[in-house]
A and B are shown apart, each in its own frame.
Chain A
Amino acid sequence: MNSLSVQIPATDSAGQQPAWLRELKHDGAEQFRASGLPTRKDEAWKYTPLGALRLDDVRMAAGESAAGRTAMADPFAAAGLRVDLLSGRVLEINGEMPAGVSVVPLHEALAGASADLRSLLESLPASGSAHAFTALNTATLERGVLIRVGAGGDAGRILLNYSSAAAETPSLFNTRICILLGAGAGLELVEQYQSAKGSDDTGNVVMQAVLDEGACLSHVRLQQEPGSAGLITRTEISQGADSEYSYYGFDLGGGFVRHDLHSTLAGAGASAHFNGAYLVDGNRLVDNHVKVDHAAPGCVSEQVFRGVAGGGGKAVFNTAVCVHPGADGTEALQSNANILLSARAEIDAKPEFEIYADEVVASHGATVGQLDEQAVFYLRSRGLNEDEARQLLITAFCRSVSDRLTDPAMAEAISARLLEAQPRQ
């Protein structure tokens, strides 16, 4: 049982807050106090004990200065706009803003909040212990970014670079990323998580995106946190008719990583593609929970996840697809394959389907196996040593995810990271 007593800090922005925002944050704080942190009795946290996170000696991140900033290489040289965040706080926004695109730190956006931002923030469910981290995030709304792309606009690539410095006391930071895409708008969002070596902070990052009719969001997440760091993220996507969301997530690091990824296909003809790879070893834990609500007819969702666990590493992959009444002609595909490299490693894979509509095409497959020893021998018989052979096979296994990226340069860059992040047996 976790006994986290969080002192929710007074706002660190100077400006006056509108009443609705004060109320929203107050409600978040109340919800968090009422629910407490999730325990293993919560079905959604059954395999993911928060004890591993050592939250009891965590304090809420206060106002770090830019001095703690770490130098980060930009892995994607072709990035357009680049937003650097330290402990969730926007430090810098660099690059040229394309027409019809605005990227502003959240605290500025909150000061003059528009109706659509307000309704976005108010729309996020945060009650119950399963959503305790969301409630906490709402209670401390301040840090983060608002990205807005007007109807028909194309933002190109925007890179969000998250880091946190190594400090004496581990802290928990909250940040909120809000994305509003107008009709037919396009955005390629790249998130990179790479904190300083030895950082034992925990990020609590909530992303909310609304895709209006025909909008297109490509979302790449490259997570290479040090094994000492924690990361809890929730991604909430709301999709209008004919909109398209594509997720490519690579969890290569982090000591305790939980990602709740949820899309609501609310308009006819929308599609959501979730692709992910996760590599764990040591005592690291990565938990991906994907949920898709098919709430309109003729929508497509597809999930392709690959995981590799070595050492005493643990990975959880839970997927739930709900096809609501009236969502006829739905197509929902799930594929999850995992490789265990050691007897101590653990993988919990659980697919769920609920179908209340007609003419639904649904398929799922979840496998947990071992590396193909025939293939290892084949490679060794050609001159590769055993480590090289295993690395090549593991990378190839994960490449079935990275090769789905539409940009070959990025696919190449990420597959190089996959090779570097090889889990130890």
Chain B
Amino acid sequence: MLTIRNLHARVDGKEILKGLDLEVKGGEVHAIMGPNGAGKSTLGNVLAGREGYEVTQGEVIFKGRNLLEMEPEERACEGVFLAFQYPVEIPGVNNTYFLRAALNAQRKYRGEDILDSAGFLRLVRDKLKILQIGDELLRRAVNEGFSGGEKKRNEIFQMAVLEPQLAILDETDSGLDIDALKTVASGVNSLRSPDRAMILVTHYQRLLDYIVPDKVHVLANGRLVATGGAELALKLEDQGYAWLDDGGIAPLGADQQEQVASP
């Protein structure tokens, strides 16, 4: 579904991604972990098409097409979804109106019927329950005055409604207490499906107790330096990221070791 080859990207003239390779297949959940400043959020923003992120080398192929040539809205309509680390507050725009406009823009792109507000409400009702979101939150302006947890739940709710094929969750766990984390995780789990891939970008292993990934990658200094199964996250939890600076990862058990690249 997604192939990233030798991706180099700059922000404000500074190279952040320095040759990143990643292959994600439909149905897979990948976790990308790494210390602050490693380039985790840059990867999400490059994939979503945010201005100011300049790709200098490499390619990103999504469903056989060059993702980097598409406008952000075209990426969204093709099925790419970024759950923002810091969801943006939009005063004056009602959450329901916003989400219906987004869904209809995507439906129009795919040649499907536009949903009226009754049809839209029927569609969202079930999804609200999964994320324990009240009707009241739907009526409020997008993210305005939402608590940290509400904002993150709102991101996953949008994902549930838009049903993307590739979802990138950028630090969705940050700022959540344990109950909110469980709610968000169960929402994400309910969206796992064989034709949907997910990339979880996170600093902490905690989220992965609730969303068990198929693969875990370690991003450091702009490249993926280690890849393993879910157990790699536990090792990171145990050893931290300090070993990255020592030039190598402590030996993994033979059953855990899939691939270890030197940084």
Binding site for B on A (CB under 8 A): 372-375, 377-386, 388-389, 392-393, 395-397, 399-400, 403
Contacts and interface: CB of A to CB of B under 8 A. Distances in A.
Contacts of A395: 92
Given A392-B93, A392-B101, A383 B88 contact: no
Which one of B72, B77, B82, B89 has the highest number of Cβ atoms from chain A below 10 Å of its Cβ? B72
Contacts of A399: 92
Nearest to A415: B92
Contact of A377 (B51, B101, B105): B51
Contacts of B50: 377, 381
A386 B72 CA distance: 9
A382 B71 contact: no
Interface in B36-90: 48-51, 71-73, 75-77, 81-82, 84, 87-90
A193 B90 CA distance: 31
Given A372-B90, A399-B92, 17 more contacts: A377-B50, A377-B88, A379-B102, A380-B71, A380-B72, A380-B76, A381-B82, A382-B105, A383-B102, A383-B105, A383-B109, A383-B162, A388-B105, A389-B73, A393-B93, A396-B92, A400-B92
A385 B72 CA distance: 8
B241 interface: no
Contacts of B106: 383
A381 B76 contact: yes
A378 B106 CA distance: 15
Interface of B: 48-51, 71-73, 75-77, 81-82, 84, 87-93, 98-99, 101-103, 105-106, 109, 141, 158, 162
A412 to B, nearest CB: 12
Chain A interface mostly helix, strand, loop or mixed? helix
A385 B82 contact: no
Contacts of A374: 88
A73 B48 CA distance: 44
A83 B105 CA distance: 42
In this complex, the member of B48, B73, B91, B162 whose beta carbon has the largest number of chain A beta carbons within 10 angstroms is B73
B51 A373 contact: yes
A241 B212 CA distance: 69
9 contacts: A379-B90, A381-B50, A382-B76, A383-B105, A385-B105, A395-B92, A396-B91, A396-B93, A400-B91
Contacts of A392: 93, 98, 101
Contacts of B49: 380-381
A375 B158 contact: no
A379 B106 CA distance: 12
Contacts of B93: 392-393, 396
A403 B109 CA distance: 31
Given A380-B72, A382-B76, A385-B71, A375 B102 contact: no
B101 A384 contact: yes
Nearest to A384: B105
Contacts of B99: 382
Given A379-B98, A383-B109, A396 B73 contact: no
Given A373-B51, A388-B105, A380 B73 contact: yes
Nearest to B75: A381
A378 B101 contact: no
Given A383-B102, A388-B101, A375 B162 contact: no
A190 B244 CA distance: 70
A180 to B, nearest CB: 37
Nearest to B50: A377
A396 B90 contact: yes
- The listed residue with most A CB atoms (<10 A of its CB), out of B50, B75, B90, B162, is B90
B101 A393 contact: no
B90 A381 contact: no
B90 A377 contact: no
Given A373-B51, A383-B77, A384-B73, A378 B90 contact: yes
